[in-house]
């Protein structure tokens, strides 16, 4: 683990959130948070001694909110809440996502509006530092009243229940804590509710999807430029004057990036005149318009998720300034669900236009003089024929998964929670879609590089040559047919890891 990242709840930046996801550092709340946390906990402690009903402190939960809980049962109430809500199913979240969930929960609790004691915050912090990662089943949240089931699985480990990964092994919660030199906690009034109310699982999954997709989007600009040069396409549609007349920032940024990537290409210079073609197909010519719109959507959702990552989303909320405890609805993850739906649409569109460029490059009727399926000896060899079919399959799969989840509400909890966001699986599918997208762009990297190399002795730009060199460090140019799957996987990994973006030069590409 790297050294701790200090978090100031309410102002954790998107850049820090990206570091938290990619690098999984240990994190700590800024010391200035502690007085607010302690003040809110004291207010809850006083409410627990009062007879006035306060939701989740001395009452039951959900439809059982009208049930009064005796003071001597309050500890059992919180423990029972966690154990009963550990109802998740499915494969566990990745360790990177789990650690982001825990960190986001720390940020929320650190705002001092949840009423938990400092000991709760300390245990979460210590678990992150020690590398204790709860096993959190991915399915079971409808994204309203918080991500109840998955967050309960996180919290269970804090009680010595459930399971956690520690030192690369899956252990019982109690064994994992003991191995890390930590002790389970006994939850006080409202603390169980504060830990499982909240949108942290949905938000972490959406952020993970966003960060992976942005890498893919940047890589798609590199592969789009490669494909443009490979088919001897025109860079004129990328001129800044064209984009300025439209005015969308993403389109402007995309046009600038494509021109910078192709600048200095001998291939481009070779067909500036005497080219009988008037216009390129839309998948080449309209890259600024399509990719730009996707970048704008991703940036918009990034702002939404940055706000959500800093939010207090449990219930009830504790206001220490006036001494009130208020039941609200911040646990409803509608902003995350809508953001995830928009990210899904962007993924589908980036993949769709990339796939069309793959199809263009392997088609001898459209690729301006390149051999069929980019094989040096087509007929005896099939070249990239079925690699293109694979991209079509992945594109179709992503289109189907891009259907909105946020419109599919259903009543739960005996109609008390009668409108829900479905944010958790809206966000979770983004990771699968991002993997599909990386594979589509990986295939475009393969065919774009192959097509450019077939234009020899003409050379592409220095920037794109660097991207090809990065690829050739992992995958040789295709001659006779060979077992193709490892080539696609290697190229896909270059997209996922950001290696192609690093090779081409991230300074040429738009930032999130």
Distance CA 338, CA 421 (A): 8
Q: By the 8 A CB rule, do 149 and 421 touch?
A: no
Place of tokens 């009243």: 145
Of 452, 348, 347, 441, which is closest to residue 390 (Cα–Cα)? 441
Report how far Cα 138 is from the mean position of its chain's Cα atoms: 14
Q: By the 8 A CB rule, do 420 and 142 touch?
A: yes
Q: Return the SS3 of 118.
A: helix
Could you give phi then psi for residue 66, rounded to 5 degrees? -85, 0
Distance CA 259, CA 236 (A): 9
Task: Please give the full DSSP string across 392-420, using - where no structure is assigned.
Answer: HHHHHHHHHHTS-STT----BTTTTB---
Distance CA 25, CA 128 (A): 8
* Given the residues 21, 55, 166, 282, the one annotated as active site: 55
Of 240, 246, 226, 352, which is closest to residue 294 (Cα–Cα)? 352
Q: By the 8 A CB rule, do 261 and 184 touch?
A: no
Could you give phi then psi for residue 68, rounded to 5 degrees? -85, 135
Q: Has 166 been annotated as catalytic?
A: no
Q: Per-residue b/e over 314-329, b at no fewer than 16 CB within 10 Å?
A: bbbbbebeeeebeeee
Sign of the Cα pseudo-torsion (102, 103, 106, 107, in order): negative
368: left (phi over 0), alpha (psi -120 to 50) or beta: left
- Facing residues of 170 across strands? 165
Distance CA 425, CA 99 (A): 18
Length of the chain: 512
Distance CA 313, CA 329 (A): 8
For the annotated catalytic residues, the residue numbers are: 55
């Amino acid at each position: 683990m790297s050294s701790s990242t200090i978090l100031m709840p309410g102002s954790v930046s998107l850049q820090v959130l990206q570091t938290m996801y990619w690098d999984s550092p240990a994190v700590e709340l800024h010391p200035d948070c502690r007085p607010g946390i302690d003040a809110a906990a004291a207010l809850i402690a006083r409410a627990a001694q009062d007879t006035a009903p306060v939701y989740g402190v001395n009452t039951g939960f959900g439809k059982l909110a009208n049930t009064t809980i005796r003071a001597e049962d309050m500890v059992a109430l919180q423990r029972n809440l966690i154990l009963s809500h550990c109802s998740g199913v499915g494969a566990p979240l990745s360790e990177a996502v789990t650690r982001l969930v825990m960190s986001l929960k720390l940020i929320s609790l650190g705002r001092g509006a949840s009423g938990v004691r400092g000991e709760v915050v300390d245990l979460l912090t210590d678990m992150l530092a020690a590398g204790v990662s709860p096993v959190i089943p991915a399915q079971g949240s409808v994204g309203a009243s918080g991500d109840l089931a998955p967050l309960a699985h996180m919290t269970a480990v804090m009680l010595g229940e459930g399971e956690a990964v520690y030192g690369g092994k899956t252990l019982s919660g109690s064994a994992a804590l003991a191995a890390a030199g930590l002790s389970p906690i006994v939850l006080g009034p409202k603390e169980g509710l504060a830990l499982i109310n909240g949108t942290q699982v949905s938000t972490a999954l959406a952020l993970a999807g966003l960060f992976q997709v942005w890498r893919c989007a940047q890589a798609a600009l590199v592969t789009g430029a490669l494909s443009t040069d490979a088919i001897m396409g025109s860079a004129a549609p990328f001129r800044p004057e064209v984009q300025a007349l439209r005015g969308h920032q993403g389109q402007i940024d995309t046009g600038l990036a494509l021109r910078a990537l192709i600048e200095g290409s001998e291939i481009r210079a070779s067909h500036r005149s005497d080219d009988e073609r008037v216009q390129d197909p839309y998948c080449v010519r309209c890259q600024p318009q399509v990719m730009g719109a996707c970048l704008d959507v991703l940036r918009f959702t990034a702002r939404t998720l940055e706000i959500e990552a800093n939010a207090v989303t449990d219930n009830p909320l504790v206001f220490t300034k006036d001494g009130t405890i208020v039941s609200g609805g911040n646990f409803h993850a509608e902003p995350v669900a809508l953001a995830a739906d928009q990210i899904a649409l962007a993924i589908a569109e980036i993949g769709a236009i990339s796939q069309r460029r793959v199809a263009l490059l392997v088609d001898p009727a459209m690729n301006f003089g390149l051999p069929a399926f980019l094989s040096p000896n087509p007929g005896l060899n099939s070249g990239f024929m079925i690699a293109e079919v694979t991209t079509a399959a992945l594109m179709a799969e992503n289109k189907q998964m891009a259907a909105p989840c946020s419109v599919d509400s259903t009543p739960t909890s005996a109609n008390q929670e009668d409108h829900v966001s479905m944010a958790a699986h809206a966000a979770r599918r983004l990771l699968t879609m991002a993997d599909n997208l990386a594979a589509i762009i990986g295939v475009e990297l393969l065919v774009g590089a192959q097509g450019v190399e077939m234009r020899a002795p003409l050379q592409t730009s220095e920037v794109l040559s660097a991207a090809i060199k990065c690829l050739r460090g992992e995958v040789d140019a295709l001659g006779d047919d060979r077992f193709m799957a490892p080539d696609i996987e290697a190229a896909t990994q270059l997209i996922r890891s950001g290696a192609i973006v690093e090779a081409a030069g991230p300074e040429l590409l738009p930032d999130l």
